């Protein structure tokens, strides 16, 4: 299953790249992209692991850029 | 943004005052510099501290704080503050440029309809297009955007399709026309039956394609992210060694001097210019292409398109219109086909015309019950109502033609195999195109030549392609050798392969792929009708003719919304321009950074240069990548 989010306030391109690499490494994630230009996060992963994935992804994003607001798109 | 600008101005004024005071009032000078620093840089230092607590070192904020505080500690107050000031100015510029390009790309893709006027119980209700179901009736007024794909029930109008196709000429529509969402209704009011829900409508599919396109990263983008991952830590480590080793090893080296040099390293170590500018160029290129009716599914495909030097085309529907038309009618001269009407008194030319009309009539009657494209073209050429009672028996012989009883006579209409099967001899003329032979009661009566027309701009497109660096152009077709060779000659193609079955096309393409050098890329252009496997197999699969077939969109890497082959050249030009811009940015950023690193290692530059190498280059790169958006005249 695929989930899309808008990352409001995503300010730095290398941070976006870091988030992407970290989220890709999470358990159950098939593919993840953080698009600096559209400020979108797209996660594709196992349905039953999704809540855990999203929790972890949020932690990663907040760690790299604490001011980013994650909104469902 | 405004607040940030004021902060910078205020800090700059205080900085100037402090610099003007001079060294005599040491304490006041220090106080002024410190306050200037705090005004412009407090948030950077704060973020750096917060990120370290969270275990995230080596980010931009940290590097900047370290460099500026370091400058303070070795007594370089003016520079310490100035570096922070310039950094903030640069960030401001960078944000502005990125915002602007995000906006202009968003504008390009502003085809999302806001509402739909749904007709319910004779009332019009404004609804979110996502809530409208297929089968609902909607009304589109002049100036409104078509919210969902549908079929026109009532009214006629002109439709501006430029958002989808890049085509500036409006299209005429009337009852029965199918219209795609995203177009703009220019004048009349039309009533439309919705045929697809919003998610499946043209608008959603295009937006989805373009938005996801930037997720397929090109090699150069991957290179940059990988480069950045090693670059920053290495430069920081070198900075540390530079600050510590020389003073320890060389007797006359002063700590403050070498620390100053290493600070430049810290400032330059940020990879931002690189990481921003490359994807931004691609995003611009993909956005620009979509404004010309060319959807590119990813940066990687744009890159491959720029490297394409061999292009393989499908014939029917790609280089030719894919519509069969009767071109010529040849009667067997010594036979009078029509015994019902006498031909006496008619001139020779008229009598020939009469014979040709009769032959066509016979063919159209014989093929009346067939739905084969060739039969349709015969019936279209005949043009008159067909009296089906004249046909008493009809049999379709697959791959050969038809046998029918018309007016009590046995008519055979089909290809040379059908004639051979029935042992009907004729003088075979060399004809290009699809030939329908006709025999009446076992006697050869003549033949009708049907062929497909070459699209108007096919020839120009091939010539232009050769100018853009395509070394070889090849055509694959299921059609016969004679037709293929005529079209290949007409279009000046380098090679063609005829009489290929769909599987044969894939095999041929694979052979061609193997022939090429490893760096050379091969593109295949097709219309997506029974060539989806070939589209998928090529390095770059280009589907022509818009959102027609789902299989084609799925299998292809580039979708050209209009039917014009010349758009392929446009696509290649856009790809080349985008790649050029991306690499310019990479070289610029790396060259400037390397130069500043070397010069500052030898103590030949000031921190100013380092700041330029960081934010200055980023701003230049971002502005440069905005050029990718401009695809006019390509």
Q: What is the pLDDT of residues B480-521, one digit of tens each?
A: 788 888 889 989 999 999 888 778 888 999 999 888 777 789
For the segment B230-239, the average pLDDT, to the nearest whole number, is 86
The CATH number of residue A39's host domain is: 3.30.70.100
Task: Dump pLDDT digits (tens) for B574-617.
Answer: 999 999 999 999 899 889 988 988 888 888 887 778 887 888 88
Burial B196-231 (b: 16+ CB within 10 A, else e): bbbeebbbbbbbebbbbbbbbbbebbeebbebbeeb
Q: What is the pLDDT of residue B339?
A: 45
pLDDT given for residue B352 in this prediction: 81
- Chain A residues in contact with chain B using a Cβ-Cβ cutoff of 8 Å: 11-15, 17, 33, 35-40, 42, 63-64, 66
For B286, nearest residue in chain A (alpha carbons): A37
* B210 has a chain A CB within 8 A of its CB: no
- A32: domain range? 2-72
Rounded to two decimals, the ipTM of the complex is 0.73
- For B518, residues 6+ apart whose C-beta sits below 8 A from its C-beta are none
Q: How many domains does chain A have?
A: 1
In the predicted structure, residue B346 carries a pLDDT above the cut 60: no
Catalytically active residues of B, by annotation: 314
In sequence order, what are the residues at sequence separation of 6 or more whose Cβ sits closer than 8 angstroms to the Cβ of residue B504? B478
Contact call for B95 and A13, based on CB within 8 A: no
Domain B116-208 top-level CATH class: mainly beta
Give residue limits of the domains in chain B. Answer: 2-106+215-280+578-629, 116-208, 323-453
Best to test chain B binding among A3, A25, A38 (most B CBs inside 10 Å)? A38
Give the one of B56, B272, B280 whose C-beta lies nearest to A37's C-beta.
B280
**How many angstroms separate the CA atoms of B482 and B497, rounded?**
11
How much is the pLDDT for B190?
Answer: 92
Neighboring chain A residues of B211 at a CB cutoff of 8 Å: 35, 38, 40
Average pLDDT over residues B533-562: 81
> Do B215 and A35 count as a contact with CB atoms less than 8 A apart?
yes
C-alpha–C-alpha distance, residues A49 and B494, integer Å: 55
- The proportion of chain B whose per-residue pLDDT surpasses 90, expressed as a percent, equals 15
Contact B368, B394 (CB under 8 A): yes
CA distance B82 to B607: 9
Q: Which residue has the tokens 């119980």?
A: B121
**Closest to A33 (Cβ–Cβ): which among B56, B215, B275?**
B215
* Token pair recorded at residue B70: 């370091």
Q: Do A37 and B105 touch (CB under 8 A)?
A: yes
The CATH number that domain B323-453 falls under is 3.40.1110.10
């Amino acid at each position: 299953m695929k989930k899309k989010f808008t990352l409001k306030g995503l300010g730095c391109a290398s941070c976006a790249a870091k988030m992407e690499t970290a989220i890709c490494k999470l358990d159950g994630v098939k593919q993840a992209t953080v698009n600096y230009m559209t400020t979108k996060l797209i996660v594709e992963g196992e349905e039953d692991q999704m809540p855990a994935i999203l929790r972890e992804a949020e932690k990663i994003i907040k760690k790299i850029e604490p001011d980013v607001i994650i909104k469902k798109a | 943004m405004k607040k940030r600008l004021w902060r910078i101005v205020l800090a700059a004024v205080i900085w100037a005052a402090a610099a003007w005071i001079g060294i005599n009032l040491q304490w006041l000078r220090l106080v002024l510099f410190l306050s200037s620093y705090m005004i412009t840089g407090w948030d950077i230092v704060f973020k750096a501290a917060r990120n370290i607590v969270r275990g995230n070192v080596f980010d931009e904020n940290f590097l900047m704080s370290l460099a500026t505080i370091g400058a303070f500690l070795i007594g370089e107050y003016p520079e310490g503050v100035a570096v922070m000031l310039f950094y903030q100015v640069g960030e401001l510029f960078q944000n502005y440029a990125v915002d602007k390009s995000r906006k202009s790309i968003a504008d390009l893709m502003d085809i999302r309809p806001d509402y739909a006027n749904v007709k319910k119980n004779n009332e019009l209700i404004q609804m979110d297009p996502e809530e409208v179901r297929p089968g609902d009736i909607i009304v589109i007024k002049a100036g409104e955007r078509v919210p969902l794909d549908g079929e026109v029930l009532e009214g006629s109008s002109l439709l501006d399709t430029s958002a989808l196709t890049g085509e500036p000429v409006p299209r005429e529509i009337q009852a029965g026309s199918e219209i795609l969402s995203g177009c703009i209704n220019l004048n009349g009011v039309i009533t439309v039956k919705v045929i697809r829900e919003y998610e499946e409508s043209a608008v959603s599919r295009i937006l989805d394609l373009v938005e996801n396109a930037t997720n397929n990263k090109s090699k150069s983008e991957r290179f940059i992210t990988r480069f950045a991952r090693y670059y920053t830590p290495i430069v920081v480590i070198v900075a540390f060694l530079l600050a510590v080793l020389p003073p320890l090893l060389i007797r006359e080296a002063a700590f403050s001097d070498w620390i100053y040099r290493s600070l430049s390293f810290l400032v330059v170590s940020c990879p931002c210019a690189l990481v921003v500018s490359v994807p931004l160029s691609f995003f611009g290129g993909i956005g620009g292409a979509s404004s010309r009716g060319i959807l590119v599914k990813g940066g990687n495909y744009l890159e491959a398109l720029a490297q394409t030097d061999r292009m393989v085309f499908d014939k029917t529907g790609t280089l030719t219109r894919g519509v069969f038309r009767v071109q010529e009618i040849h009667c067997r001269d010594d036979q009078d086909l029509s015994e019902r009407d006498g031909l006496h008194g008619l001139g020779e030319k008229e009598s020939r015309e009469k014979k040709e009309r009769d032959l066509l009539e016979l063919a159209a009657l014989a093929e009346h019950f067939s739905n084969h494209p060739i039969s349709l073209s015969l019936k279209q050429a005949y043009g008159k109502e067909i009296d089906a009672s004249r046909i008493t028996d009809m049999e379709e012989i697959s791959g050969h033609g038809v046998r029918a009883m018309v007016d009590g006579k046995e008519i055979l209409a089909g290809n040379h195999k059908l004639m051979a099967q029935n042992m009907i001899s004729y003088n075979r003329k060399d004809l290009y195109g699809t030939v329908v032979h006709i025999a009446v009661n076992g006697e050869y009566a003549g033949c009708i030549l049907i062929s497909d027309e070459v699209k108007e701009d096919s020839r120009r497109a091939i010539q232009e392609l050769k100018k853009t660096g395509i070394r070889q152009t090849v055509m694959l077709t299921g059609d016969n050798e004679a037709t293929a060779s005529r079209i290949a000659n007409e279009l000046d193609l380098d090679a063609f392969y005829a009489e290929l079955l769909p599987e044969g096309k894939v095999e041929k393409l694979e052979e061609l792929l193997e022939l090429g050098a490893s760096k050379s890329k091969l593109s295949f252009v097709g219309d997506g009708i029974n060539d989806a496997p070939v589209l998928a197999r090529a390095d770059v699969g280009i589907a022509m003719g818009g959102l027609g077939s789902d299989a084609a969109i799925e299998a292809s890497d580039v979708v050209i919304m209009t039917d014009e082959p010349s758009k392929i050249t446009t696509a290649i030009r856009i790809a080349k321009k985008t790649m050029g811009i991306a690499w310019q940015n990479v070289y610029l950023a790396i060259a400037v950074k390397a130069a500043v690193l070397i010069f500052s290692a030898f103590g030949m530059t000031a921190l100013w240069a380092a700041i330029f190498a960081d934010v200055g280059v980023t701003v230049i790169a971002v502005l440069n990548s905005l050029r990718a958006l401009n695809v006019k005249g390509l």
